[in-house]
Amino acid sequence: MELGLSLALFFITGIISGLFGGMLGIGGATILVPALTLIFGLPVYLAIGVSLLNNVAVSTSATMRYKKRGLLNRRVILVMNLGSILGIIIGTFIATRSPEAAIKVFFGAFLLFMVANGLLRRNAVDSVGMVELTPKTEVGLSGLGFVMGLLGALLGLGGGTVAVPTLNNVFKMPLKQAIANSLATVILASALGAVIYFYLSAGALFSAEEALLTAFTIVPGSIIGASLGARISERIDTKYIKYIFYAMLLYIAYNMIKSGLGW
């Protein structure tokens, strides 16, 4: 495939992943990582590293908007980051030493979990006020951050799929605050994870030039798509679109597991 065509397709892929992420509040990595591996044939390690860089860009853009609305809790973000940094380091160490097939199967299995969780999830809690940060609460938030970092390293996900409903239903944080603080937590851990991935894998599994070229083509498209998706979600009922997206995730999950198992 010609370089120009490849870059154009990467850019379009970024727009599509960002569009769904912004419209449905579901991480674009659920589309981005499978597309890069199954369609473009890139190593899964490169796809995850690119996805982590993409998380940094999209989450930073969204976090700045939430900051202006006063929805960020610095203490919550700090405590969650302590766990997420540890999770991203351990997860990256595990992922770069795991067979690519195993990561694909795990990714597919997690997509199945996402669909089930989305269909069975309880209604959002509309509580108001700040989370009471007791020592017990901080341990829980740090543990949640660890899970976010682990998922980011293993799958390239931001972790919002787990963090947002947990912050909302378990810690009783208002939904918009849960989304805002989850996105803010993603930034540092994803940046660290991308650096570690590219440092450990570049040269052995892919070239540094390949990684940067892919990332800097996809990220702008993803930012544009996320902005469009957010605007669309404010104007239409996304319930039916969400069901179509879940059906697509089931198809992607099947193909990731199939590829991992060599069927």
CA distance 33 to 246: 16
Which is more confidently placed, 231 or 78?
Answer: 78
| Banded pLDDT at 203 (limits 50, 70, 90) | low
Confidence class of residue 84 from pLDDT cuts 50, 70 and 90?
A: very high
Q: Report which DSSP code applies to 216.
A: H
Average pLDDT for the chain: 83
CA distance 25 to 21: 5
Name residues whose C-beta falls within 8 Å of residue 59's C-beta, 6 or more positions apart in sequence.
Answer: 158, 183, 184, 186, 187, 190
Region 177-200 average pLDDT: 87
**Beta carbons within 10 angstroms of residue 232's beta carbon:** 15
Closest CA to 52 of 188, 146, 228: 188
Tell me what pLDDT residue 78 has.
94
Q: What total number of domains does the chain contain?
A: 1
Q: Are 143 and 83 in contact (CB under 8 A)?
A: yes
Print the domain residue range for 256: 3-261
Cα–Cα dist 182/236, whole Å: 24
pLDDT tens digits along 102-154: 999 999 999 898 888 777 776 655 555 566 778 888 999 999 999 999 988 98
